[in-house]
Amino acid sequence: METVYPEKIMEEIEHKRREMISSARETGFLSVQTISASQELDKLLNIIQEELHIFSK
């Protein structure tokens, strides 16, 4: 299993969040681009949530 570094994931989350907001402003909330960015953000959030859950055990 690949080691995930929380700082790097948090940076990626912030970058993807800004990308999603920008896309929503430019192309709308229901555009393919915005939805794709949202889904990628969800994946990153799930990764960090899993890491925090494992760490808390």
Question: Does residue 1 fall inside a structural domain?
Answer: no
Residue found by looking up tokens 């939805």 in the block? 35
Question: Does residue 19 fall inside a structural domain?
Answer: yes
- pLDDT score, position 3: 58
Question: Does residue 42 fall inside a structural domain?
Answer: yes
Statement: the pTM of the whole predicted model exceeds 0.85: no
Tokens found for residue 13: 């989350």
Question: What CATH number does residue 34 fall under?
Answer: 4.10.280.10
> pLDDT truncated to tens, each residue of the chain (57 aa)?
455 677 899 999 999 999 999 999 999 999 999 999 999 999 999 999 988 777 776
Distance of alpha carbon 45 from alpha carbon 52, whole angstroms: 11
- pLDDT score, position 2: 56
- pLDDT score, position 42: 98
Domain range holding 47? 6-56
Question: Does residue 13 fall inside a structural domain?
Answer: yes
Structurally, the chain folds into a number of domains equal to 1
